[in-house]
Amino acid sequence: MPTPASGRGFLWLGLVLSSVCVALGSETQANSTTDALNILLIIVDDLRPSLGCYGDKLVRSPNIDQLASHSLLFQNAFAQQAVCAPSRVSFLTGRRPDTTRLYDFNSYWRVHAGNFSTIPQYFKENGYVTMSVGKVFHPGITSNHTDDSPYSWSFPPYHPSSEKYENTKTCRGPDGELHANLLCPVDVVDVPEGTLPDKQSTEQAVQLLEKMKTSANPFFLAVGYHKPHIPFRYPKEFQKLYPLENITLAPDSEVPDGLPPVAYNPWMDIRQREDVQALNISVPYGPIPVDFQRKIRQSYFASVSYLDTQVGHLLSALDDLQLANSTIVAFTSDHGWALGEHGEWAKYSNFDVATHVPLMFYVPGRTASLPEAGEKLFPYLDPFDSASELMEPGRQSMDLVELVSLFPTLAGLAGLQVPPRCPVPSFHVELCREGKNLLKHFRFRDLEEDPYLPGNPRELIAYSQYPRPADFPQWNSDKPSLKDIKIMGYSIRTIDYRYTVWVGFNPDEFLANFSDIHAGELYFVDSDPFQDHNMYNDSQGGDLFQLLMP
């Protein structure tokens, strides 16, 4: 049955369906092959790899785990900047933040950097009907207030009507009043419109799949889910999956002694929530009271399980519509999220907890056998069903990879010409990519062989970066505007270590000065997996970093 909010959504859908008909007839470079693979790209907001398929024993994510069981899963995938808009523009254009020149939320890359093509734009120009549901591009000026329409999409993107309530006073507190809280488990029937954004996005995505089933053109459908982004506003029944007595603290919940102040994220957006303000936590280092830390972790995990149900309904519809044998499914997140590690919360840093993301690709007939008639690859799995068994990932790669590889990899998997590597500089080049093509990982000789793909991981490097306005944490350290950026933290992650150098940065010229080193970090992963013991002062300083930069 439609939710009370569906009236507006169906009006949008009617406009969309008529636009699809126009789009189908107007593609000038239509792909004439009848066996072109569709693309379903699922992008999650703030999701770290706290999933069963990544070895998390607590989190219940059966539907994402099921997808992983039919996919190639990358164990070591990293974002290029741990904040929403810069990361999304980076991987959707296949360019690093220093090329998009977007480190904040205040510019549109086509105006301020270059007229760079995007993943959906490239598919659209190659005959695909491209559709956006939910949060794909970050809304606002960073996507020209249009989600990069009309460049990227065959018709205007859909945003759920209920997302406007996400940061309003809709959280019922212990006092019985409504608040704008961080922790916000809700009774869905009581919230405005009687629904939640991710529920609406799933409904609309399913209806688009139903329409595209009969299309002569292949489709590219991007679905962006909000949770587990804060506030943790999710159906309250998901709390039951995570009793507080089962919730542990982060294994390293103290601020490390050797952490340079410039590297610390003071989690200012968390502090602005009413329930956190009531705790009267000192700035910048806190700490948050232990019992509240457990509640934050509980709500994050509950939000992940709620998200998992939406992914499950979407993939089950793909099965029901018999599209699973003709659709590539890519699943990822824009960045991770700290849950108390290093005494930090949220993203806004170069640590693994902020940059490490899930990344998996289901390719019909390649990562899994084609489903036979009547067979379902993605039957919906209820996270509340305690009898369900953890599914092991299908194929896995331990190689370090970057989200900027998403563009060339999706193009290659779909049989399109892979965009060329970018020259340096590439501001004048509309179509190129700075990430590696991961297609070699999909060349399986035998599905029965070792599921961990071989390689030489010591040859691989993942790069990330984060800006700061000052050497010490302050009110805008997490999200400095371009004009306020004085320092850039460039970080290298290898299979052995994470190495970060914080250097002077000129925001007018977009130039980093590697002779102006403010601080450094060096963590050896094998002996220090949580990155708590900074060995930088025992190393050769910034010289090694300059040798390793791309």
Q: Which residues are catalytic?
A: 84, 138
CA–chain centroid gap for 168, Å, is: 24
CA distance 108 to 321: 37
Instruction: Collect all residues with Cβ–Cβ distance below 8 Å to 226 and sequence separation of at least 6.
Output: 45, 134, 135, 163, 166, 197, 198
- Residue 65, classed as helix, strand or coil, is helix
CA distance 168 to 179: 7
What the block records as the tokens of 345 is: 């919360």
**What end-to-end distance do the CA atoms of the chain give, in Å?**
53
502, 262 contact by CB (below 8 A): yes
- Residue 76, classed as helix, strand or coil, is strand
CA distance 485 to 476: 10
Residue 54 DSSP code: G
CA distance 132 to 490: 32
- Residue 80, classed as helix, strand or coil, is coil
CA distance 3 to 257: 51
Buried b (16+ CB within 10 A) or exposed e, 271-292: bebbbbeeeebeebebebeeeb
Please name which of 161, 342, 318, 183 lies closest in space to residue 249, comparing C-alpha atoms.
342
88, 152 contact by CB (below 8 A): no
CA distance 379 to 324: 11
- Residue 468, classed as helix, strand or coil, is strand
Whether omega for the bond prior to residue 251 falls within 30 degrees of 0, making it cis, is no
134, 159 contact by CB (below 8 A): yes
Instruction: Collect all residues with Cβ–Cβ distance below 8 Å to 503 and sequence separation of at least 6.
Output: 487, 488, 489, 490, 512, 513, 514, 516, 517, 518, 542
Instruction: Collect all residues with Cβ–Cβ distance below 8 Å to 147 and sequence separation of at least 6.
Output: 132, 136, 137, 139, 153, 156, 157
